[in-house]
Amino acid sequence: MARAGRPRTAFETWAWSRNLGHDDLIALFDQHCRELGEQASLGRRHLARLLAGEIQTVPHPATRRVLERMTGIRIDSLFEQPPAPRAGAAVVGVDLERAIMDAAHESSEHAMEAGTTTAEETLEQLREDVVRIARNFDNQPPAVMFAETLRVRNLAVRALEQTRRPAQQADLYLVAAQCAGLACGACMDLSLWDAAMEFARAGYTYAEVIDHDGARAYSRGMQAQIAYWTGRTREALQYALAAAELAPAGIAQVRAQSILARAWSHRGDVAEVHAAIAAAEEGRDTDGDDDLHDTIGGEFGFSAIRQARCGGTAFLRVGEAEHAARHTRHALELVAAGPQGPWSSVEAEARSDLAASQLLIGQLDAVVDSLAPIWDMPVAWRRNGLSGRVDHLRTLLSAPRWRGSAAARGLADQAEEFIAARAAALPGERLALPHA
């Protein structure tokens, strides 16, 4: 997508404001086709013409309906030239890096289709793509990361169909497992639980094919999280125990034990929560060499920040407010000491958990300060983990001890608006598994 100058149409303005490239737009278009039951398709050349406003006739009726649903803009306005920006104003979403990446993606895909790349070159590119996505997962909204993961997953499946070499097949199955894990995470962030579980199962199956304990443990951990977020606490514990048993030494164990602490907290077992958190802390002192957790890291890893936040959440669940406050404050100290992303979901979640522990302790004034930074978070960045915590806060604020407090009532109203805005933006239907 060209990003020089200013957007040429309202459609392009909409896409730029959301930092969506060609692959993202095509994936979103296909998703809305499924939701509406429409038979329509959008190719790269057609998309480029639509974005530029270079159309001679109005698109097909099915395409018009999908575009209107996707963008929320009437079709007769979608391809009009937007008004010129005010003097000195920056054009939202003008992103040279994204434009370059779009061009690079198109070049590599065309080379694959033309048969001008070797299997090793394809594998190298796919490995680099997975690393880039995993390490930037929290720096983009989940819908954007899902579309990018889908692109790489489809390329890996296509490459699997073209090679018969066992070593290359094993590497490609690992890429497919990694993509399934990343897609699962994005679906969880979007509260698409059925699709998330399908991706988690697919990731485990790919890992089984290549006998990869790290990928197996990662998938079981994702299944545990899906289960406890959807109220299936017994199932969550079974998955979490399996993840801990499979996880290699190092960060994989830190992640598995942290998830296990969360699973035990949903069963109300305080002693087991303490034991799992202690095991996670011990695991941090062990060096590991797992492909996902230790080598790639990012979304596959489990930072000290995430570990502290996860421990705080587990303690909060079993009512140990002082322990929860100590862990969440530690997480926020680690956040403040490191580089700041655009909208840190881990920081926002830690702030929500700190506020909940402060409510339990009776420190309402401190809650206002803890929550203040999260209210302006853009809707697209509000992942499920954060919205679930804010919903829990809303429940705590309705407790009898706070019913006469105007401050508590105001916070509860803010929490309700925060959750409602995200709910309105979520996809209306479950995502189907993508086709290669």
DSSP 223: H
Q: Which residue has the tokens 């959807």?
A: 230
What is the Cα–Cα distance from 91 to 176, expressed in whole angstroms?
37
Instruction: Please report the pLDDT score of residue 223 as a whole number.
Output: 98
109 pLDDT band, cuts 50/70/90, is: low
Q: What is the mean pLDDT of the chain?
A: 84
Among candidates 300, 310, 297, which has minimal Cα distance to 385?
Answer: 310
Mean pLDDT in residue range 315-325: 94
Lowest model confidence (mean pLDDT) among 219-233, 351-365, 394-408: 394-408
pLDDT digits (tens, 9 = 90+) for 345-392: 889 999 999 999 999 999 999 999 999 988 888 887 888 888 889 998
Q: Is the pLDDT of residue 24 over 90?
A: no
d(CA 349, CA 401): 24
Would you place residue 22 in the very low, low, confident or very high pLDDT band (cuts 50, 70, 90)?
confident
Check residue 17 and give its pLDDT: 67
Percentage of the chain exceeding pLDDT 70: 85
Which pLDDT does position 131 carry in this prediction? 94
Structure token pair of residue 282: 């011990």
Write a three-state SS string for the chain: CCCCCCCCCHHHHHHHHCCCCHHHHHHHHHHHHHHHCCCCCCCHHHHHHHHHCCCCCCCCHHHHHHHHHHHCCCHHHHCCCCCCCCCCCCCCCCCHHHHHHHHHHHHHHHHHHHCCCCHHHHHHHHHHHHHHHHHCHHHCCHHHHHHHHHHHHHHHHHHHCCCCCHHHHHHHHHHHHHHHHHHHHHHHHCCCHHHHHHHHHHHHHHHHHHCCHHHHHHHHHHHHHHHHHCCCHHHHHHHHHHHHHHCCCCHHHHHHHHHHHHHHHHHCCHHHHHHHHHHHHHHCCCCCCCHHHHHHCHHHCCCHHHHHHHHHHHHHHCCCHHHHHHHHHHHHHHHHHCCCCCCCHHHHHHHHHHHHHHHHHCCHHHHHHHHHHHCCCCHHHCCHHHHHHHHHHHHHHCCHHHCCCHHHHHHHHHHHHHHHHHHHHCCCCCCCCCCC
Rounded mean pLDDT, 194-216:
95
pLDDT at 86 over 60: no
pLDDT at position 175 is 96
pLDDT tens-place string over residues 411-432: 989 888 888 887 776 654 333 3
Q: To the nearest whole percent, how much of the chain has pLDDT over 90?
A: 46
> What is the structure's pLDDT at 90?
35
pLDDT of residue 207 exceeding 90: yes
Domains of the chain and any CATH numbers: 1-77 (1.10.260)
Under 8 Å between Cβ of 407 and 393: no
Q: Is the pTM of this model over 0.85?
A: no
The pLDDT value recorded for residue 356 is 93
pLDDT at 227 over 90: yes
- Assign 232 a pLDDT band (cuts: 50, 70, 90): very high
